[in-house]
Amino acid sequence: MNILEENDFVRLYTFIQKKYGINLSKKKQLIEGRLNSTIFAMGYSDFSEYVDFILTKSTQKDIELLLNKLTTNYTYFMREKAHFDFFSQNILPQLVKTKKDKVLSVWSAGCSTGQEPYTLSILMKEFLGKEAPRWDTRVLATDISQKVLLQAQKGAYPEDSLKDMPSEWVRKYFSRVDNTDQYEVTTALKSNIIFKPFNLMDPIQFKIPFDVIFCRNVMIYFNQETKDALVDRLYASTNQGGYLIIGLSETINKSTSKYKYVMPAVYRKI
Ligand SMILES: C[S@@+](CC[C@H](N)C(=O)[O-])C[C@H]1O[C@@H](n2cnc3c(N)ncnc32)[C@H](O)[C@@H]1O
């Protein structure tokens, strides 16, 4: 087994932290364990050579392979359901009353394989019912990983993963893929999601500010400084009265953030 020397470890985690916000400074063992066979299979003789490559010549694809090894894209339908209930029962009724332009701008930031943005889109359609065609309910769904975005765009999920969804939604918004246990999101629902690669460390320059930003279980990897700076950028991209929803195990700095606390993991710009 190759040893990850301290200076290579520091070079690697500093690079990842600066560029992608992900804090791996306490994950030496994890890096060693997860990358050992990969770097050997890729033809590098040791970690030092691999770290040199990453820092000087790597492409976005090389970095992505690395991040895929070291971080998790874990997600599932109806994760932290309380947020979806709050979205349907509190946020949507308010927005529908106040948005004269009939545009609901919703962003799933760190969308992984798509379960979150598809659910948000379903919730909007269900809430609006017959009125839905009169509203712009497109969801922006972004992630740093092209790999998960491709899976998200494909929108095919094992039957078992839909078990927590109301069966009526499965009938309306999914169709079974012949001779498999997979269910695929309907074309109509897929066309309601705009999937885009986006690094949350970059300036946020989307066309319009958002009424609701779901950024759940993404900042777990970020250190406080990176998190605070991201929350500031998210705040600047939130409409007045709009919401930021983070993961239930995450916190934002209540003393420095301009968002007002609403309930666990739910914040508002007021
Ligand atoms: C654990 S998943 C969360 C998925 C979903 N939001 C949920 O709560 O189930 C975290 C996602 O954040 C993405 N991510 C991590 N760092 C990122 C960054 N700097 N910019 C954009 N996405 C990032 C990962 O690729 C991963 O897909």
Express each pLDDT in 95-105 by its tens digit: 999 999 999 99
Q: Tokens representing 187? A: 């074309």
Contacts of residue 107, defined as CB under 8 A and 6 or more positions apart, other chains included, come to 139, 140, 141, 142, 206, 210, 212, 213, 214, 215, 237
Residue with the nearest Cα to atom 11 of ligand 1?
Answer: 110
Q: Pick from 36, 70, 104: which residue ends a domain? A: 70
Ligand 1 centre and the CA of 178: distance in Å? 31
CATH number at residue 251: 3.40.50.150
List residues near ligand 1 (CB under 6 A): 20-22, 71-75, 79, 110-112, 116, 143-145, 148, 199-201, 216-218, 247
Q: How far apart are CA 213 and CA 117, in angstroms?
A: 11
Please indicate, yes or no, if residue 179 is contained in any of the structural domains. no
Q: Tokens representing 24? A: 């791996």
Does 99 share its domain with 204? yes
Q: What CA dihedral angle connects 78, 85, 210 and 224, to 10 degrees?
A: -70
Does 22 share its domain with 44? yes
Q: What average pLDDT does this structure show over 32-45?
A: 89
Is pLDDT at 62 greater than 80 in this prediction?
Answer: yes
pLDDT digits (tens, 9 = 90+) for 114-128: 999 999 999 999 999
Q: What is the pTM assigned to this prediction? A: 0.92
Does 98 share its domain with 117? yes
Is pLDDT at 17 greater than 90 in this prediction?
Answer: yes
What is the distance, to the nearest Å, from the Cα of residue 257 to the centroid of all Cα atoms in its chain? 21
Q: Pick from 48, 70, 92: which residue ends a domain? A: 70
**Which domain does 255 fall in, by range?**
81-154+188-268
Does 255 share its domain with 201? yes
Amino acid at 32: E
Please indicate, yes or no, if residue 175 is contained in any of the structural domains. no
pLDDT at 61: 84
Is pLDDT at 1 greater than 80 in this prediction?
Answer: no
Does 61 share its domain with 100? no
Q: Pick from 70, 90, 108: which residue ends a domain? A: 70
Ligand 1 centre and the CA of 108: distance in Å? 10
Residue with the nearest Cα to atom 14 of ligand 1?
Answer: 110
Average pLDDT, the chain: 95
Ligand 1 centre and the CA of 218: distance in Å? 4
Q: What is the Cβ-side half-sphere exposure of residue 264, based on CA atoms within 13 angstroms?
A: 7
- Please give the tally of structural domains in the chain: 2
Is pLDDT at 148 greater than 90 in this prediction?
Answer: yes
pLDDT digits (tens, 9 = 90+) for 226-239: 999 999 999 999 99
Residue with the nearest Cα to atom 26 of ligand 1?
Answer: 73
Ligand 1 centre and the CA of 96: distance in Å? 29
182-185 sheet: strands from edge to edge: 156-158, 182-185, 174-176
pLDDT at 71: 83
pLDDT at 188: 96
Please indicate, yes or no, if residue 145 is contained in any of the structural domains. yes
Is pLDDT at 65 greater than 90 in this prediction?
Answer: no
Q: Tokens representing 257? A: 């953030």
Does 147 share its domain with 19? no
What is the distance, to the nearest Å, from the Cα of residue 30 to the centroid of all Cα atoms in its chain? 22
Q: Tokens representing 75? A: 């997600």
From the list 63, 28, 56, 32, the residue with the least C-alpha distance to 46 is 32
Buried/exposed 159-181: b ≥16 CB within 10 Å, e otherwise: eebbeebeeebbeebbeeeeeee
